[in-house]
Structure 1
Amino acid sequence: MTGAVRTLGLCADDFGLWPSVSRGIARLARAQRLTVVSCITSGDAWRASAPLLADLPDSVEIGLHFNLTEGLPLSAELARAWPVLPALPALIAQAHLRRLPVDALRAEWQAQVAAFTEATGRVPQTIDGHQHVHHLPQVREVVLRGIEQLLPAPAVRDTGVLPGPGFGIKRQLIAGTGGRRLHRELLRRGWLHNAALLGVYDFIDTDYRGWMQRWLRALPDAGGLVFCHPGEIDAQSAGDAIAGARQRELAYLESWAFADDLAAANVKLGRVWRRGL
């Protein structure tokens, strides 16, 4: 294929959610099939998983996957308000009604960042949110203020530009619930972010390779970030709602088929963060 090589950032979400998921992600990262590992630090599995990050290649960044919808709060302050973290629809509704416990969310942010730094010895290199919660009203303000305190400054997943393909309603919901506002804030502040975000699908379609091929064709010349959810599955994580998708994504991403698809699309894996449009 002729033309300029485009760059794809590939971020595996949910490291630390289950030990088995973490093992699969770490395997891909060591094989340099990822550029970012995004970590959930609010559960017990984080402490068991964190040592897997110690020997990753320098080409793989390690970030925080800020979690407000899975399991239990990490901070005592948020646990008093929410003994169990809410489901995403309830969180979205409360955020847009501006009824979130903001002081407790600040404490939760600090606790999750502290859990990350204590285990890794450094601040997160990237910031995003589990189920994109980092862009929601009130949550967004907490996250942006929290990022201001982090040095060196991390890159932030921009959820405001989602070119597709497919799942237009889901992509519009992501952008409309806070992604576009986050995009404007990142541009105004001049912070590192991705030019485009791809990776939206329903976790049901078994043809993950087909989706990746379409995302590669849609990748802008400026590059973009694909978020993914690979992982191993064991008895502990068998109840995971997207267990089948995790296994399919892991199998494809560590296969030669993925390398072949990158080459066919004239795409390389690498950092895609930028400050402007």
Structure 2
Amino acid sequence: MTDATRRIWLCADDYGISPGVNRGIRELIERGRLNATSVMVVGPAIGRDDVRALQEAVATGPHCAIGLHATLTAPFHPVTMHYRPLRDEQFLPLGKMLRAGLLRRLDPEMVRAELAAQIAAFAKLFGRPPDYVDGHQHVQTFPQVRNAFLAAVKAGAPNAWVRQSGRIRPLAQRLDMPKAVLLDTLSAGFRKRASRQGITFNPGFAGAYDFNKTADFGVLMAGFLAGLPDGGLIMCHPGHVDDVLISLDPFTDQRAREYAFLASDAFPRLLDAQRATLAA
């Protein structure tokens, strides 16, 4: 590795959402194609066997961080008994959760308690706190959630870093990406709060794209890597599609395409061409 080579985090989200996704993530870890994965403790596929298999994959492959994928959106259920608001005993859907935060209709203490319980559940499963904490559907950056999130991390995983979801690029370079603009805006406040509390976060972020469109993931990955600083993070969602995933998430075929590219010889060639390597 030369001095000009960037070390990046490539993080597979959603370990625990389904057996097929879990298997795909483990296979990529064992091949050295990922160096981080985020675990959903509220997912249906996070039993002791799933935890043990992940620990074995990490132990036999190159270094891979294991984090908590804090979850506060449907179709998942809270860990704590008294968490509100709910819809049909599940967390609110993404849009309603963001709206509730913007309108200051959430109870920050209730949110903090739920996130603290998820951190504790992770520690019970893995025998230690998470290496880092991020949020499913970027919920950690939402108004009223971000302060509760950072407080829960500082108390329950004081040595963990957290994910910020802003690319930190000039506005003119991202006006054609509405989702990225929203994430940049939400993440700016999140970064300020994390800095004030002395909590470390990734200096750059990439990986957001329109999941409703068929896209060449290799082309997307090249764009994600372009301009990403040393220590930056790319989120991804690889996995094998199964009935459990189909029942929970519309993001299916895209996961298979991501897996296929990351498992291919084209991926390490792209890293070399972009002068990037997975952080150790």
Q: Scaled by the length of structure 1, what TM-score is found?
A: 0.89
Say whether the 8 Å CA contact 1:64–1:127 is kept in structure 2.
yes
Among 236, 246, 266, the residue aligned to 1:257: 266
1:227 aligns to 2:227 (yes or no): no
Choose which of 264, 270, 275 in structure 2 pairs with 1:266.
275
Asked whether 1:66 is paired with 2:70, we answer yes
Contact 1:113–1:123 at 8 Å: present in 2 too?
Answer: yes
Please name the residue that 1:114 is paired with: 120
The answer to whether structure 1 residue 202 and structure 2 residue 210 are counterparts is: yes
Structure 2: distance between partners of 1:57 and 1:187: 30
Secondary structure of 2:243's match?
Answer: coil
State the shift of 1:162 in Å: 4.4
Could you say which residue in structure 2 is the equivalent of 1:91? 97
Shift of 1:246: 0.3
Q: Is the 8 A contact 2:113 2:152 kept in 1?
A: no
- Which residue type is aligned with residue 77 of structure 1? H
Match runs of 1:1-277 below 5 Å: 4-47=4-47, 49-57=50-58, 59-70=63-74, 71-78=76-83, 81-82=86-87, 83-163=89-169, 168-176=177-185, 178-203=186-211, 204-220=213-229, 222-239=230-247, 240-270=249-279
Q: Secondary structure at the residue paired with 2:33?
A: coil
- The residue type equivalent to 1:36 in the other structure is A
Q: Which runs of 4+ in 1 moved over 3 A?
A: 79-82, 160-167
| Bigger Cα displacement from structure 2, 130-139 vs 2-11 | 2-11
Q: Is the 8 A contact 1:73 1:79 kept in 2?
A: no
1: CA distance, partners of 2:158 / 2:150: 14
Q: Contact between 2:7 and 2:276, CA under 8 Å: does it hold in 1?
A: yes
Secondary structure of 1:44's counterpart equals coil
Give the match's secondary structure for 1:190.
Answer: coil
RMSD of aligned Cα (Å) = 2.2
Secondary structure, aligned partner of 1:32: coil
Change (3 A) 1:104 1:150: closer
Per-residue deviation, 1:80: 7.6
TM score, norm. by length of structure 2: 0.89
Instruction: Give the unaligned 5+ runs of structure 1.
Output: 272-277
Kindly tell me the number of residue pairs found equivalent between the two proteins.
269
Query: Identical aligned pairs, as a percentage?
Result: 35
- The structure-2 alpha-carbon separation of the partners of 1:193 and 1:217, relative to structure 1 and needing over 3 Å to count, comes to same
- 2-structure distance, mates of 1:84, 1:138: 19
Alignment check: 8 A CA contact 2:240 2:255 kept: yes
Q: What one-letter code is carried by the residue in structure 1 that aligns with 2:200?
A: L
1:85–1:152 CA distance, 2 compared to 1 (3 A): closer
Instruction: State the shift of 1:116 in Å.
Output: 0.8
CA contact (8 A) 1:39 1:63 kept: yes
Q: Which runs of 5+ in 2 are unaligned?
A: none
